[in-house]
Amino acid sequence: MSFPVTCDVERPPSFQRAHVFLRIGVLVVIGWLGHPWGLLWLGPPLVAAILIAQKGGRRYLDESGPTATRVLNWILDLVAYLALLTDELLPRIAREGLARYCDVFVERSAFTVDEARRLLRAARAEGLGAKLHADQLSAGGGAELAAEVGAASADHLECASDAGIAAMARAGVVAVSLPLASLYLGQPPAPARRWIEAGVAVAVATDFNPGSAPSYHLPFALTLACTLQRMTPAEALKGATIIAARAIGLEATVGSLEPGKAADFAIVDAPDVEHWLYHLRANACRATVIGGRPVWRGPGFGGLD
């Protein structure tokens, strides 16, 4: 069984971790530039991410930023911080081609809907796409805002309202389910079945980060999507491939094996997707291929010659 896979990462990984991604079948990675610590935020982490993309063999690394939290509030007041983002960082990011999206965290402990709207409108004015992390811990109107600004996707959404679900369905915003974060935080996961039945495309990712989801094991996230969120194995697989590609604007080139698309795929030791996700294993991936070229083979795997 073979398929293309995407993954979601919130910190630029090390070279060693980049190789681990390939070994479990992850071929496309979204990297958030992180929590901005002043203008230095644009320096070494971004360079490291680009180098990893080049040396790790992956075709893409999408540095989506800035991830907006109140992490600088103890240094700068909020008004000054917002001005820094809208007047200096976002224009520079767009001008230098450092990112494709601006992602804002909408939550009681993070940005309000009005603050996020201001940031996302500024980002759109600079030619950046919009994304949100929203409604993870409370229903704060993040899903509704994602629909309003035409976001490519919104992540988490465990507590999104019925109105937010309906709005995202009408606007065609992808809902990104992050079951590993729910597992580590001990909270109910996003009701994926409800989202799907409402007509929303649901992607599945890891939310790999050191705080709330310290695991990059995408296959485990897919199993959780089936067992905890009542997605079918086929829905979970599509959520990690073509729907995930749509969430980052790459569905025309990756996310499925079709003529004209990149020959990026993983070979899994399973007769079908049901067996693969039902039988939880440390790693069922036997080989990964990027652009038609094998970039990793598991021990004893002699194919692809």
pLDDT tens, 67-121? 444 444 445 577 878 888 899 889 988 998 888 999 999 998 889 999 999 999 9
With respect to residue 279, please indicate whether it lies within any of the assigned structural domains: yes
| Mean pLDDT of all residues in 47-58 | 39
**Backbone conformation region of residue 209, classed left if phi is above 0, alpha if psi is from -120 to 50, else beta:** beta
Q: Is residue 37 very low, low, confident or very high in pLDDT (cuts 50, 70, 90)?
A: very low
pLDDT tens, 122-147? 999 999 999 999 999 999 999 999 99
Instruction: Considering only CA atoms, give the Rg of the chain.
Output: 19
pLDDT tens, 168-200? 999 999 999 999 999 999 999 999 999 999 999
With respect to residue 305, please indicate whether it lies within any of the assigned structural domains: no
Q: Which pLDDT does position 36 carry in this prediction?
A: 41
Residue 58, pLDDT above cutoff 50:
no
Q: Is residue 9 very low, low, confident or very high in pLDDT (cuts 50, 70, 90)?
A: very low
**Token pair 């025309």 is at which residue?**
252
With respect to residue 207, please indicate whether it lies within any of the assigned structural domains: yes
pLDDT tens, 196-234? 999 999 999 999 888 888 899 999 999 999 999 999 999
What average pLDDT does the chain have?
A: 83
CATH number of the domain encompassing residue 250: 3.20.20.140
Q: Is residue 32 very low, low, confident or very high in pLDDT (cuts 50, 70, 90)?
A: low
68, β-bridge pairs: 104
Where do the H-state alpha helices sit in the chain?
A: 15-23, 44-55, 78-83, 90-95, 113-125, 142-148, 162-171, 179-185, 192-197, 218-227, 233-240, 242-247, 273-278
Between residues 5 and 87, which one has the greater pLDDT? 87
Residue 64, pLDDT above cutoff 90:
no
Which range has the top average pLDDT, 30-34, 136-140, 142-146, 291-295? 142-146
Helices vs strands, H then E, count in the chain: 13, 12
Q: Which pLDDT does position 200 carry in this prediction?
A: 98
Q: Is residue 47 very low, low, confident or very high in pLDDT (cuts 50, 70, 90)?
A: very low
Q: How far apart are alpha carbons 165 and 288 in whole angstroms?
A: 36
Residue 38, pLDDT above cutoff 60:
no
Token readout for 287 is 């080989």
Coil/strand/helix, residue 218: helix
Q: Is residue 20 very low, low, confident or very high in pLDDT (cuts 50, 70, 90)?
A: confident
Note the pTM of the prediction, 2 decimals. 0.84
With respect to residue 49, please indicate whether it lies within any of the assigned structural domains: yes
> Into how many domains does the chain fold?
1
Residue 61, pLDDT above cutoff 60:
no
With respect to residue 303, please indicate whether it lies within any of the assigned structural domains: no
Torsion of CA 137, 139, 140, 146, to 10 degrees: 100
Give the domain extent around 41. 2-297
Q: Is residue 19 very low, low, confident or very high in pLDDT (cuts 50, 70, 90)?
A: confident
User: Beta strand pairing status for 174-177 and 153-156?
Assistant: parallel
CB atoms within 10 A of CB 278: 13
